[in-house]
Amino acid sequence: MHAPVIEFKGGSYTLSTLRLCGRTLVQLDAALAQHIERAPGLFARMPVILDIEGLDPALPISDVIALVRQHQLLPMAVSRAQPTHKAALTELAIPCLEHKAQKAHHRLPPMIVDKPVRSGQQIYARERDLIVLSAVSAGAELMADGHIQVFGPLRGRVFAGAAGDPSAYLISHNYQPELVALAGHYQTVEPSHPHWGQPVLIQLQGNALNCEPLSRS
């Protein structure tokens, strides 16, 4: 029996959201350049959804999308578009997603990893929290739709709230990551970070990642 020539199948993929709030193309260009230069290898040809609710309605969306592509990001769709932008998006053949509130649901029991996470290894806790009892090496990647807690040294990349949950948090008992993301909001981390190597709690406050030290007692 021959396989069908085409076939539509359901799938679940995690895409990062890039929120744009600049009032001019010059502002957007400078902000994108500054953000991407911290980790150019990470963002090169990254597919993203553009949240453009904060853009000036008079700013041509075609120019905005062209600018994003110049920075090697790949816009897949747009969310929270204003009426002035929706008609232009239709002409550009870019999907405009309707923003819907995330439905509350019960998460699965947490995933517990009791072995070191090696460089190049990726762990994804879908619809659950992730607890890592050992070390996470540089070049490793942790991802969870819920919260993440790492008891050993954390030196890789961490993505909590991967499905878009802004209440997700990260607890690290030895904070030395390459990159941290909560609900699509990214922050690269350097050894000069004031809480480097310390136990911390990372939470999302507005659109910024807030890092607070935890007591060792």
Q: Distance between CA 154 and CA 141 in Å, rounded? A: 10
DSSP 156: S
Question: pTM (2 decimals)?
Answer: 0.59
Widest Cα–Cα separation across the chain:
65
Q: Distance between CA 61 and CA 81 in Å, rounded? A: 10
Q: Distance between CA 117 and CA 125 in Å, rounded? A: 14
Write out pLDDT tens, residues 51-79.
888 888 888 999 999 999 999 999 988 98
CATH superfamily, region 16-97 = ACT domain (3.30.70.260)
111-213, CATH topology level: Pectate Lyase C-like (2.160.20)
Predicted confidence at residue 23, as pLDDT, reads: 82
Task: Examine the pLDDT at 106 and tell me if it is beyond 60.
Answer: yes
Q: Which residue has the tokens 């619809």?
A: 127
Name the residue ranges covered by the structural domains of the chain.
16-97, 111-213
